[in-house]
Amino acid sequence: MNRIVKTGLLAGAVVLAGYGAAMADSGTGSHKLGGMLTMTHGMLRTSGLDGATIYNENGKDLATLKNILVSDNGGPTTVVASADGRLVSFPLSKLKFQKSDPNSTAKRPDYSVVYPGASESTFKAMPKFHYDSGNQG
């Protein structure tokens, strides 16, 4: 083999080994709630939140987080979620972020998005959200 091919194979092996180590370190082996979010500098990345499942504290899958909206003055943040095929919105303060497996000892455990006390009827009672008008209803 020439030098370029050897270098490429070695780089690929390093990437795969690094990926395996990262997965082993992330605590993704057991998911009480099914989360896949990890902390960075003690905070969750918003890019990791888009598409995350929203659970209640009993592990019931209730909705999918679509976006987090922030006003231009940094005021209250709003969550847009898809529940039962329709978009709804509610304050970000309603959500909690907790370890998916509370017994995890991983250096970087994964986290789940939890709406405590929520049920399917909680989301059904919310007004529809529309991106185009910026209004609910």
pLDDT at 65: 95
Mean pLDDT estimate for the chain: 75
pLDDT at 36: 58
Q: What is the largest CA-CA distance in the chain?
A: 65
CA dihedral 10, 11, 13, 17 (to 10 degrees): 130
- Asked if residue 30 has pLDDT above 70, the reply is no
At 41-59, the pLDDT tens digits run 777 777 778 899 999 999 9
Q: Give the confidence band of 35 by pLDDT, cuts at 50, 70, 90.
A: low
DSSP state of 94: G
Euclidean distance between the first and final Cα of the chain, in Å? Answer: 65
Find, among 26, 22, 37, 30, the residue nearest to 98 by Cα: 37
pLDDT at 37: 64
At 85-119, the pLDDT tens digits run 999 999 999 999 988 888 888 888 888 999 999 99
Paired tokens of 52: 């995350």
Backbone angles phi, psi at 7, to 5 degrees: -65, -40
- Asked if residue 31 has pLDDT above 50, the reply is no
